[in-house]
Amino acid sequence: MGEGMTDAAQIIPQEARQRVTAPLEQAWTLPPAAYFDDTLFNLEVENIFCQDWVCVARAEQLPNPGDYVCVDLVKQPIVVARDMQGELHALSTICLHRAMPVVTGTGNGTRFVCPYHHWTYELNGKLRSAPMMEGVADFEPSACSLPRLALEEWHGFIFVNMDTNATPLSPQLTGLEALTEAYEFENLEIAETIEFDSPWNWKILVENFMEAYHHIGPHQNTFEPIYPARQSSIPDNDGAPWSFLHMPGVPHTEGQTSSFPNLPDDRRDDLFAAVVFPTFLFAASNQTGAWYQLDPQGPGEMHLKIHALVHKDMAPHMDAQGRAELRAGLTHVHAEDITVNQGPWRGLQAPMTDQGRLSLYEKSIWHLNQFWAKRLGF
Ligand code: FES
Ligand SMILES: [Fe+2]
């Protein structure tokens, strides 16, 4: 951080920073400004969203050559495309001419044609042609390319990183992989998706997703009887950029067939939730998985897609009723969570609000806070 530039330490007083980075037993939550301050959000964009791995798609969303999916990485619109050789590319969609997005939405095609002046790009981002540019000095279309992002596929999840020199992701996830491999994420596919505009800070949702302490609150009649808060546990992550929440269940699945043949019997009643920081959220029971795809757009703005994932052998056999039940289940639980996202979002902006103490059942929040503090340089 250069001389004269704002850094997080100038906005968050030293005492508040020390409360965040203290060992879990002594730790406090992030200060309220971490959730609504515009400067801190811009620092998150610069130091987290421009440098960390973000999950943007599932591989089965792009099964064929020419398939593409567009997503926004905060302010950066990107496209993930499968080229004719089957290779995946992640590219900025912004035209090299006058900044028009060359593609939006999802689809299949052999090239991207900018709607403005028809500059035409290959699926790997190379500029193939630019009409009426004769006589323009030192302009060689074949030397031009849409900016690339790093891309890694992890068990069917496609992660991208705007920092092409970033440390590869998979080696950082070996600990998480060991905890989740029985679920064979690569065999899942998206069965249903529900979408929400979520006008609150993205960290509020991540925190809520990663602790079972609140089962005794909004989920007292849904999760708490099956996955009691007090049984939940969160292993150490040794400073890696992920966290894992284990929610052992009271026996309730006897006679059910599990979607995951390699899931040990003693884990069949359990639920887990996992996060790869900053925003990859995933949960699974012995039947289905849920991927929460977050797209933060500002300190208090976020679009959320909740995808229900089922085993790929099961997906073709799902009838309309099964799908409706899947949607209803996710919608119901999320409605319970919305109340405890909206409330704190309002509360955090109240002038008399300060940091709060963390329960030991909220170790994942402490993990997030250590990640956040490290990225923001304190
Ligand atoms: S902005 Fe894309 S061709 Fe002009
Ligand atoms: Fe919840």
pLDDT tens sequence across 343-361? 999 999 999 999 999 999 9
User: Contact at 8 Å (CB) between 369 and 239?
Assistant: no
Query: Would you state the pLDDT for residue 261?
Result: 86
Query: Would you state the pLDDT for residue 259?
Result: 85
Q: What are phi and psi of 44, to 5 degrees?
A: -65, -45
User: Contact at 8 Å (CB) between 376 and 47?
Assistant: yes
Of 201, 239, 220, 227, give the one whose Cα is nearest residue 74: 201
Query: Would you state the pLDDT for residue 258?
Result: 84
DSSP conformation class of 186: G
Confidence of residue 5 (pLDDT cuts 50, 70, 90): low
Whether pLDDT at 244 is above 80: yes
Report the distance separating Cα 176 and Cα 284, nearest Å: 14
CA of 129 to the centre of ligand 1 (A): 11
In a mutational test of the pocket of ligand 1, which residue from 91, 104, 114 has the highest number of ligand atoms less than 8 Å from its CB? Answer: 114
Rg (CA), the chain: 22
Cβ neighbours of 262 (radius 10 Å):
9
119 CA closest ligand 1 atom index: 3
CATH 2.102.10.10 segments of the chain: 54-161
Of 101, 55, 106, give the one whose Cα is nearest residue 76: 101
Cβ neighbours of 127 (radius 10 Å):
22
CATH 3.90.380.10 segments of the chain: 170-375
Whether pLDDT at 192 is above 50: yes
Query: Would you state the pLDDT for residue 279?
Result: 98
Mean pLDDT lowest for which of 75-89, 243-257, 328-342? 243-257
Report the distance separating Cα 188 and Cα 310, nearest Å: 5
pLDDT in tens, 284-323: 999 899 999 999 999 999 999 999 999 999 888 899 999 9
* Ion ligand 2: residues, Cβ under 5 Å: 337
**Residue ID of nearest Cα to ligand 1 atom 3:** 117
Whether pLDDT at 3 is above 70: no
114 CA closest ligand 1 atom index: 2
User: What class is the 170-375 domain?
Assistant: alpha beta
User: What class is the 54-161 domain?
Assistant: mainly beta
CA of 94 to the centre of ligand 1 (A): 9
